[in-house]
Structure 1
C-alpha cells in the first residue's frame, strides 16, 4: 500500500485517524491545521497547497465543479459514522490500489464510485 498524505475532516471519528496512522499514512485532522469551521474553499485551498487527500463525510466535496479535486478526495457515504465500518470501507478501498492522484471517489458500504476530474486533460 502506498503511503498517503491525508487530511481528515472534522466529521471523521478519531479512531479512523489512529488506524490510518498505524497503517503508515501521514494523517492530520482539520482541527490540527487550524481549519475547523472554515469554508470548504479554504479547506480545499489547503489540500491543494499541501498535496493532501481529503477524507470526509461532507457531500459538498463530491462536486468536482464547485470544488476542484486537486490531489484527490474520498467522500464517504454520509450515513456512515461508525468508525469500524469506515475502517472496513477504507481497507477495501485501499486494497483496490486507490486512490489515484487527482480523482474523486464516493465510498459507500456497497461499493466505490469514481468521478473524473474535469480540471484534468
Structure 2
C-alpha cells in the first residue's frame, strides 16, 4: 500500500465551528457539551475548527449527535448543516454515551 494521504472533508472544520457557535459555547463549553472533558482539551477543539486536525470518529459522532444530524452531514462537503440545529443538544443519546464512557473507566 502506498503512503498517499486520504481525502479530507474540506468543510468539516467550518461545520464544527458552526455547531459550537450555534449553541453559543466556548471551546471548553463545547468539550463539556460533547461529554469529552476527560479526552479533549481546548487546543484540540481549536485544531478541529482550524482544520489542522480531524476529530477521531467517536468524537465526530458526538458532534453529530449534539447537532442532531447524521455524521455524513458533517463529512460530506455537498451537504449543509440545517439552519436550525437540535433544540436540546444534550439529548438522551449523548447523555447515555457519556454515562457509558464513565462506567467503563471505573
TM-score range normalised by the length of the shorter chain: 0.3 to 0.5
TM-score by length of 2: 0.33
Bigger radius of gyration: 2
Higher strand share: 1
* TM norm structure 1: 0.30
Q: Greater relative contact order: 1 or 2 (C-alpha under 8 angstroms, separation 6 or more)?
A: 2
